[in-house]
Amino acid sequence: MGLTILAFLSIPGFAVLFFIVLRRGRDTPAGRIVAAIAAALALYSLAQGLVFILTGPGFRQSDALLLERASGALILVTHVLVFLFALNFPTPLPRFALNLMLVVALPLGLVAAYDATFTFDYIVSVYRPWTTIFRTEGRFYKLFVFGDAGLAALSSLLLGIRLLASKSRVQRQRMAVAAAFILIGAALILVSTGLFTTGQAKRPSYVFAPVGALFLAGGITYAFRLSRLFDWRTIGRTLLGYAALFGAVGLPSGIVVALLVLVGKSTSTAVPAIGALAVFVGAALLGRLFFKRFFVRLGASHDYREKLESELAGVDLAQGRDAVLAQVYELLSKAIGFTDLAVLIDDDQGYMRTIYAPTGGRATIERASKLAELLEKTGSNIILKTEAQTDPTYADLREPLLELFESLKAEALISVLEGRRAMGLFALGARSTGAEYTAYDYDAFKAIYGKLFVIAYYLKNIARESIMTTVDREIALSDQIIRFALEKVDRIEHAKADASWVARSARSLGGDFIDFVRLSSDRWFIVMGDVSGKGLSASMNMLILKSMIRTFLRVEKDFIGLVSRVNAFIKENLPKGTFFAGVFGYLDLAKDAFYYINCGVPTILLYSPSFDTFIEVQGEGKILGFVKDISPFLKPRKLLLPPGSALVSATDGILDSENLRGERFGKERLRRSVHERLHLSSAEISAGAMEDFLSFTDKRQDDDITLFVMKLNERKAT
């Protein structure tokens, strides 16, 4: 069958395009037409594949002829649909104009399709004497072919006229893309099916016609869904870079290889083979060097994403709300070049209110409104105004959404979600140059989203005016954060277990924390550890990380997947260099088991009542925040917790603390301190261990410390 398989392979592609368009555009005339084009071309490809099979021995030639004619009729129907698409894209023409076009186009299209399928005017016969199909073309074959070509050209011309009349840059871009794909796709189909043949001729390239059809349908679908402007500057720099790479490395390498081939003709074939290999290796090394020194520098000369991301990560949250907002505005406006900015924050009273708008507009969004629901459930945290104007996703709420853009004087909205709930909105205004936001800007907004999340979280939970007017010093604010984090836990309360902990900050500043999340009456999720850093920044990172872990627990059911998401969040969203050393645990008291992944906590001790001793069970742990994908290094472990056993874990603040003689408190002193109090409650054990620790260090504490103790109660005999 050879390349005929391309016809069958292209059918799933048309099916994908059909369902993509129907999912997002079935409520628009243009969307329904695009879906119809995909369906018609899928049938065309099926017919083309079957023609080759049915022209073989053992089949009736009349069936192949009918399918060959039907495929031509389907191409004609496709071009009529393309013409209707041009009338309805991006918005339908006035109804009277549409009706006039339909009255003329549809009857002609139906008559021509019937004539092509059921008469000898288009194709007289089709046959395959060996591996190539031959056909005898009818008297009006050229009329059909040039009619197809004319409809395609007319559709592109109509789109071009509508393009010139449009004032929207994104709509002009969409129409230009559609016109280009229609011209190229139709040309590929017509050339492949015999545009320049007449009478009796073979069809050497007909197998490529379905590929052209897929190009046409895919291009129209892409234009229909396109909602962001191309960044022509980036595209131009990329093309220029590749052209320079070709001129500096590719062309000289090709010339050298050609010379080697000429030399090889008069000497030995080994000369061009070995020489070409050497040239290839040298060209690869030169190309890599060229790419690093020129191409990357060329691409980065006008990019702002990485620099802005780094600068936002360095915003000092301790300077207060107004100063933080002013700094954020300065960084964003300098990098992006806009003049208007508005920041909205959830007030926990049913509204998202504007808290900052030095030059931008102001708005209030009701939490129960459809607009708020759209911001939370749209599937994207970023909405450009061009998308709001064109994307079928926003069709139902397009008017109120565009009103929000206008009221905020915005061209881009970045919705910050805490879990599935919007807690903030950054509205970025129009560029001072008059240019619209492009696909590059969209990617840049995605890159800085994590930094904006941290800032929005700070504004919502920490920097409210009621707090900032009464708490002026960083140490007091950080202490408040730590107390809030430690109090908001689901304590382990169960007949089988007695759990307690101690968490102390060295100077009311730090990132140690412990959290319990109750999953059921017998199950808890536990996380304990230390977020790197000092001062208010570490406390903020600790509180944000605790909140995100609880958020991930709602959607992530896989243990390794959960820890991997936490690692990715630290790596991508918290300030550069932040890491977390701790342990994630899953306590199942129904099975008397503790499942855990150690991520750098220095000690986990299990007391065995059978041997009356503590056993180190922490194993090796990988600290989170250093590598992008931590999952290959995560090793879940399981501990059985028999009655009378005890579990103890501590951060390095306890183990590494020294007394005046330079001696470390260490694991052995912790073991002894807990062991001699095993007859007491867990609260008394942890309190006693802290007394021993402070006595050892002469009541000095240089680092944050967290100690967790859990006893498994003895079972009463029945």
Q: 168 and 237 share a domain?
A: no
Q: Quick check: 214 pLDDT over 70?
A: yes
Range scoring the smallest mean pLDDT among 154-163, 179-188, 270-279, 342-351: 270-279
What confidence score (pLDDT) does residue 40 get?
Answer: 93
For the chain, give the number of residues: 718
Q: What number is the average pLDDT over the span 213-225?
A: 91
Within-domain flag for 15: yes
**90 cis-preceded (ω within 30 degrees of 0):** yes
What confidence score (pLDDT) does residue 299 get?
Answer: 46
Beta bridge partners of 493: 498
Q: What number is the average pLDDT over the span 627-652?
A: 91
What confidence score (pLDDT) does residue 513 get?
Answer: 80
Q: 275 and 194 share a domain?
A: no
Q: 432 and 554 share a domain?
A: no
Q: Which of 297, 323, 339 is the last residue of a domain?
A: 297
Distance between CA 600 and CA 629 in Å, rounded?
16
Within-domain flag for 471: no
Distance between CA 62 and CA 69 in Å, rounded?
11
Contacts of 633 (CB under 8 A, 6+ apart): 622, 627
Q: What number is the average pLDDT over the span 16-30?
A: 84
What confidence score (pLDDT) does residue 619 get?
Answer: 76
Higher pLDDT, 224 or 701: 224
Read off the pLDDT of residues 382-400 as tens digits, 9 standing for 90 and up.
998 888 888 877 878 888 8
Instruction: Report the share of the chain in percent with pLDDT over 90.
Output: 26
Q: 201 and 179 share a domain?
A: yes
What confidence score (pLDDT) does residue 588 get?
Answer: 94
Within-domain flag for 493: yes
Q: What is the DSSP letter of 436?
A: P
> Which range among 113-127, 531-545, 559-573 has the greatest average pLDDT?
559-573
Q: 244 and 208 share a domain?
A: no
Read off the pLDDT of residues 464-493 as tens digits, 9 standing for 90 and up.
543 443 334 444 444 555 555 555 688 899
The answer to whether the CB of 266 falls within 8 A of the CB of 259 is no
Q: 11 and 123 share a domain?
A: yes
Token match 């915005």: residue?
410
Q: 579 and 518 share a domain?
A: yes
Q: 189 and 326 share a domain?
A: no
Q: Which of 466, 498, 528 is the last residue of a domain?
A: 466
Structure tokens at 662: 């330079």
Distance between CA 668 and CA 662 in Å, rounded?
16
For residue 510, name the pLDDT band (cuts at 50, 70, 90). Answer: low
Coil/strand/helix, residue 92: coil
Distance between CA 629 and CA 536 in Å, rounded?
28
Distance between CA 551 and CA 254 in Å, rounded?
56
Structure tokens at 692: 């021993």
Q: 690 and 592 share a domain?
A: yes
Q: What number is the average pLDDT over the span 439-463?
A: 83
Range scoring the smallest mean pLDDT among 100-109, 525-534, 573-582: 100-109
Within-domain flag for 717: no
Distance between CA 169 and CA 16 in Å, rounded?
29
Read off the pLDDT of residues 655-687 as tens digits, 9 standing for 90 and up.
888 888 888 999 999 999 999 999 999 999 999
Q: Which of 225, 258, 288 is the last residue of a domain?
A: 225
Q: Quick check: 228 pLDDT over 80?
A: no
| Torsions phi, psi for 270 (to 5 deg) | -70, -30
For residue 413, name the pLDDT band (cuts at 50, 70, 90). Answer: very high
Distance between CA 576 and CA 378 in Å, rounded?
30
Distance between CA 610 and CA 458 in Å, rounded?
50
The answer to whether the CB of 417 falls within 8 A of the CB of 372 is no
Beta bridge partners of 624: 580
Distance between CA 415 and CA 504 in Å, rounded?
36
Coil/strand/helix, residue 595: strand
Coil/strand/helix, residue 596: strand
SS3 content of the chain, % helix, strand, coil (to 5): 55, 15, 25
> Which range among 12-26, 271-285, 392-406, 685-699 has the greatest average pLDDT?
685-699
Q: What number is the average pLDDT over the span 207-219?
A: 87
Mean pLDDT of the chain: 82
| Structural domain span for residue 179 | 2-225
Structure tokens at 403: 């009103």
> Which range among 174-178, 246-250, 305-309, 531-535 has the greatest average pLDDT?
174-178
Alpha carbon distance, N-terminus to C-terminus of the chain: 79
Q: Give the CATH number, domain containing residue 158.
A: 1.20.1070.10
Q: Give the CATH number, domain containing residue 345.
A: 3.30.450.40
Instruction: Report the share of the chain in percent with pLDDT over 70.
Output: 85
Contacts of 276 (CB under 8 A, 6+ apart): 257, 260
Q: What number is the average pLDDT over the span 294-299?
A: 51
Within-domain flag for 718: no
Within-domain flag for 367: yes
Query: Of 415, 410, 372, which is closest to residue 389 (Cα–Cα)?
Result: 410
Q: Quick check: 362 pLDDT over 70?
A: yes
Read off the pLDDT of residues 32-62 as tens digits, 9 standing for 90 and up.
899 999 999 999 999 888 888 888 777 887 8
Read off the pLDDT of residues 118-129 as tens digits, 9 standing for 90 and up.
888 888 888 877
Distance between CA 706 and CA 510 in Å, rounded?
11
Q: What number is the average pLDDT over the span 536-544?
A: 73
Cite the beta strand spans of 277-420 per DSSP E.
341-346, 351-356, 364-366, 382-384, 410-418
Type of residue at 574:
L
Helices (H), ranges, 595-703: 652-655, 666-675, 682-696
Read off the pLDDT of residues 242-267 as tens digits, 9 standing for 90 and up.
677 777 777 888 788 777 777 766 66
Q: 71 and 215 share a domain?
A: yes
Range scoring the smallest mean pLDDT among 148-162, 187-201, 334-348, 526-540: 187-201
Distance between CA 181 and CA 212 in Å, rounded?
10
Write the CA distances from 442 to 30, 419, 533, integer angstroms: 26, 22, 31
What confidence score (pLDDT) does residue 231 get?
Answer: 62
Q: 277 and 191 share a domain?
A: no
Q: 190 and 243 share a domain?
A: no
User: What total of structural domains would you count in the chain?
Assistant: 4
Write the CA distances from 641 to 96, 603, 620, integer angstroms: 80, 17, 21
The answer to whether the CB of 456 falls within 8 A of the CB of 345 is yes
Helices (H), ranges, 463-586: 465-468, 474-487, 535-555, 559-573
Q: Quick check: 423 pLDDT over 70?
A: yes
The answer to whether the CB of 64 falls within 8 A of the CB of 33 is no
Read off the pLDDT of residues 598-628 as tens digits, 9 standing for 90 and up.
998 889 999 999 888 999 998 777 899 888 8
Type of residue at 127:
Y
Distance between CA 597 and CA 630 in Å, rounded?
12
Q: Give the CATH number, domain containing residue 627.
A: 3.60.40.10
